[in-house]
Amino acid sequence: MLGFPALPLTPKPHCRIFTNTCHSYHNQTPTITCSSSSSFKPTKNPQIQHLSKQGHLKQALHFLSQEPNPSQQTYELLLLACTNHRSLPHAAAVHKHLIDDGFDQDPFLATKLINMYSQLDCLDEARRVFQKTQEKTIFLWNALVRALTLAGEGAEAIALYQEMIRIGVACDRFTYPHVLKACVVSSPSSSISVFHVGKAIHTHILRRGFETQVHVATTLVDFYSKFGLVSYARRVFDGMPEKNVVSWSAMIGCYAKNSRPCEALELFHEMIEEVGDDYPNSVTMVGLLQACAALSALGQGKVLHAYSLRKGLDSIVSVVNALVTMYVKCGSLEAARQIFDQMCRKDVVSWNAMISGYGIHGFGREAIRLFEEMMGAGVEPNVITFVSVLEACSHVGLVEEGKGLFECMVRKYRIFPSVEHYACMVDLLGRAGQLDEAAKIIEMMRIEPDPIVWSSLLGACRIHGNVELAERASIRLFELEPLNAGNYVLLADIYSEARMWDDVDRVKKLLEARGLRKVPGCSWIEVKKKIYSFVSVDELNPQIEQLHALLLQLSTEMKDRGYVPDTKVVLYELDENEKERIVLGHSEKLAVAFGLINSKNGETIRITKNLRLCEDCHTVTKFISKFTNTEILVRDVNRFHHFKDGVCSCADYW
DNA sequence: TTAGGGTTAG
């Protein structure tokens, strides 16, 4: 085994700087207690109990009005019934009764009221109950922090936590998970301060000795995972004296989501050794399947599929959705479709996974057909459905269809286009050569275009050699992402194609001056359930001589048939032979050669690459597929290329 | 009385 691929990091969730909203939670001096004062529990009214459980809220309320002395427990039951049946009018009626019966200052019932209003999406009512209750127990504080976090009011949840600290409320192990989640909830766009708040909370947790508490520590693992800080997450995980399936799954998920799929699979083996084979559950499985999908590890994915069947996890929708995605990303679209068709219950995620699968495999029309089938089945599409189907159109140049879907998204489904949708449209029009229209989309955007939108335009400029527009897009990109080397490389490629060597040099110097380096190309292949990875200069590979010899032989054969190596991606001033040597050593070519040598005759070779496939590799792989009569499936950073008989499924449109 | 990990896109 030659080592695992070094994958680029996925974008980290950004944080947003927020100003403290400074809500005042006290209209009077607070009374702070740490436990409920209710120890006496009178019995429940059996009729009300029965009716509440059956959901006959109206009749239960009728009996309540006739009950001379309703107990705290009776109210607790009624509030639970209102929550379960999601009935706000009944909830308000019970609340009114409760006040009339003198329970309005009962902190136990106040906590239940906050939980109920939170679940019924009445945050204002929850706030009001909190403010009016004088005896503010820790349950009451925690309930409001939770309600605010669940409602996405992260900044306010953090402000409430800070208020707790300020006035000396002793936070407990239930407070921290909520407030840590608030740090992530409150950062849908970007800000670094939310992360710092979480770090400060971690310090507080350490000071109070809660880091070893399993729920708190697991939330910390997840918190660091969401900010891409895998080593921090691992440190917390390793420090846990007690680990359970949730903590293991959180750490496995952390690796899977942060481009460390090999570690996710390794940790799974550690988990099995430490806790036994019965332990992994559906959430563990989802993380592992994501790891296999990231690696395109079809063999290992199949093993996990069999494992899921054995453990009865295959009836859980999230697991099946993850299986569909795993097969899609491992290049086995037929297996994905078979699983999708056999699903007893499909949710929106299942449909999205399959639509997106058709898209990245270059089956745009099938993606649209499945989208229409989804509409016919009455499944409500979401923002991701449209990103998936628009992407599918973009991969094959279905411009009119894409425009129609974009319009239908807004008009029929009232989905306001996000930057991702605009980026899809820019990509769709730009790839198809309608660069002015693509630029117009950006001008007309009602939201600020982000780097994804500009890089879609820059990518399209590269395909169509539009230097002027590329320069305009680059100016914005360099402002927004000054440290993204990929943007500089893309612009240098465009100049190189236009033979504007001075400008190539200028961009290269800019790259160097900023201390940035081009992300090295890396390709990998799974052979007999092991992953073998390659970088362009791979002297460590024991078969390297053999791989080079085979590639040289194939290259000679190709040249005899008129092949001229395309070396424009080499941005250094070297003689043509040296450039040819570099291009021939590209990681995907090495991986293809390795596949030819080490795979069985007639077996499809499956390669994955961390960057976009270069034109020369595309040409050479087409030739190899014909010359060796081998099917070669390459997944690059954007899509699949299926090479067979000298033709690629992308029809050279990518 | 309250608490932790999850599927789809880019």
Residue A596: predicted pLDDT:
94
What does the pLDDT read at residue A268? 96
- Residue A121 has a pLDDT of 94
List C-alpha distances in Å: A217 to A141, A206, A236, A618. Answer: 21, 10, 6, 47
CB of A260 within 8 A of CB of A266? no
Q: At A532, phi and psi to the nearest 5?
A: -120, 125
The CA-based diameter of chain A, rounded to the nearest angstrom, is 100
> What integer pLDDT is reported at residue A488 of this predicted model?
93
> Does the pLDDT value for residue A405 go beyond 60?
yes
Distance in Å from B3's C1' to A235's CA comes to 21
Q: Which residue has the higher pLDDT, A41 or A221?
A: A221
Cα(A650)–Cα(A654) distance, rounded to whole angstroms? 6
Q: Specify the nucleotide whose C1' lies closest to residue A215 (CA).
A: B4
Query: Is 50 exceeded by the pLDDT of residue A255?
Result: yes
User: pLDDT value at position A537?
Assistant: 66
Q: What is the DSSP string of A365-380?
A: HHHHHHHHHHHHTTPP
Nucleotide closest to residue A638 (CA–C1'): B10
Helix A615-627 to helix A587-598 angle (10° resolution) is 20
Measured to protein CB atoms, the chain B nucleotides within 7 Å are 1-10
Rounded, the Å distance between the CA of A90 and C1' of B1 is 21
**How many Å apart are A32 CA and B3 C1'?**
21
Determine the Cα–Cα distance for residues A573 and A532; give it in Å rounded to an integer: 32
The rounded distance, in Å, linking the Cα atoms of A3 and A530 is 10
> Would you state the pLDDT for residue A420?
95
- Helix or strand run (H / E) with residue A597: helix A587-598
Give Cα separations from A51 to A45, A64, A72, A81 (angstroms).
Answer: 10, 11, 17, 9
Contact A364, A388 (CB under 8 A): no
The whole-number Å distance from A263's CA to B7's C1' is 20
Measuring from the CA of residue A285 to each C1', which nucleotide is nearest? Answer: B6
Q: Give the model's confidence band at A402: pLDDT under 50 very low, under 70 low, under 90 confident, else very high.
A: very high
The pLDDT of residue A416: 92
End-to-end CA distance of chain A: 32
**Model confidence band, residue A477 (pLDDT cutoffs 50, 70, 90):** very high
CA–C1' nearest nucleotide, residue A217: B4
Both tokens assigned to A120: 């019924």
Could you tell me which residue, A181 or A22, shows the higher pLDDT? A181
pLDDT beyond 60 at A27: no
pLDDT band at A265 (very low <50, low <70, confident <90, very high): very high
Helix (H) or strand (E) segment spanning residue A488: helix A485-497
Mean pLDDT for the stretch of residues A109-137: 97
Question: What integer is the mean pLDDT of A498-512?
Answer: 90
Q: Which nt is closest to the CA of A287, judged by C1'? A: B6
User: With 60 as the cut, is the pLDDT of residue A131 above it?
Assistant: yes
Structure tokens given for A420: 């991702």
Q: Where are the alpha helices (DSSP H) in A55-192?
A: 57-66, 72-84, 88-100, 107-119, 123-132, 138-150, 154-167, 175-185
Specify the pLDDT at position A43.
Answer: 59
How far does the CA of A587 sit from the C1' of B6, in Å? 34
Q: Is A192 helix (H, G, I), strand (E, B) or coil?
A: coil
Secondary structure class of A609 (helix, strand, coil): strand
Helix (H) / strand (E) element for A317: namely helix A317-329
Q: What is the mean pLDDT of residues A593-616?
A: 93
The model scores a pTM over 0.95: no
Work out the average pLDDT over A372-381.
96
Instruction: Give the pLDDT confidence of A588-601 residue by residue, as tens digits.
Output: 999 999 999 998 88
- Find the Å distance, CA of residue A235 to C1' of nucleotide B1: 33
pLDDT of residue A193: 56
- Give the residue nearest to nucleotide B7 (CA to C1'): A318
